[in-house]
Chains A and B, each alone.
Chain A
Amino acid sequence: DSGVTQTPKHLITATGQRVTLRCSPRSGDLSVYWYQQSLDQGLQFLIQYYNGEERAKGNILERFSAQQFPDLHSELNLSSLELGDSALYFCASSDPSGTGSYEQYFGPGTRLTVT
């Protein structure tokens, strides 16, 4: 158990809809990262938040947005969903209390299926 939790575990929705994925980082971790893993693909970095502020952006579509709240949990919002958005979405956390540790600890993922 990495200490990172993600909800929901599975999500099935229709094209055009909007969903919110939730992540709670390990206790004390300040950084939260979101990744997308499509079928047989590697992990694509989407976005990173550090202590409530956006730190880095990767291949995140404009239809997607994220935020990190004062209690450090994060949400990834996916809107106008398309079939191609079906994937595993992972959250990871790192940097316990600003010590600069770079290893990222991953949650179990949310499997999103768009029909």
Chain B
Amino acid sequence: DQQVKQNSPSLSVQEGRISILNCDYTNSMFDYFLWYKKYPAEGPTFLISISSIKDKNEDGRFTVFLNKSAKHLSLHIVPSQPGDSAVYFCAASARNYGQNFVFGPGTRLSVLP
């Protein structure tokens, strides 16, 4: 049973437009969420996080939105750049139960010039 789902395996966006990557989770105890970016032949790189006490967190071109009632979060990248082309992983953790993060399967983003 996948506790963290990223239902879009891939996404293509034109350079300069908005990229929206979605993530759904099933475990209501999850209270901390991370997004990672991964380039081929490299380890995942931390992008942005959000705690369940917030519904939005922004860092430069990256914004994460959390809808707890829908158990849904999304990562917005504005404006998208070709260098953003990578696989994006959503991860969730029930912090009160330790730091055991559950990762989604990832979404491959391609930003077209």
Chain A residues in the interface with B (C-beta under 8 A):
2, 4, 31, 33, 35, 41-45, 48, 55-56, 58, 90, 92, 94-95, 102-109
Contact = CB atoms under 8 A, between A and B. Distances in A.
Given A45-B100, A48-B100, A102 B93 contact: yes
Contacts of A107: 43
Nearest to A106: B43
19 contacts: A33-B101, A42-B104, A42-B106, A43-B44, A43-B89, A45-B100, A48-B98, A48-B99, A55-B98, A55-B99, A56-B100, A92-B44, A102-B99, A103-B49, A104-B34, A104-B46, A105-B46, A106-B43, A108-B41
B102 interface: yes
A80 B14 CA distance: 47
Interface extent on B, as a size class?
Answer: 20 to 34
Contacts of A58: 100
B42 interface: yes
B99 to A, nearest CB: 6
A86 B34 CA distance: 27
Interface in B81-105: 89, 91, 93, 95, 98-105
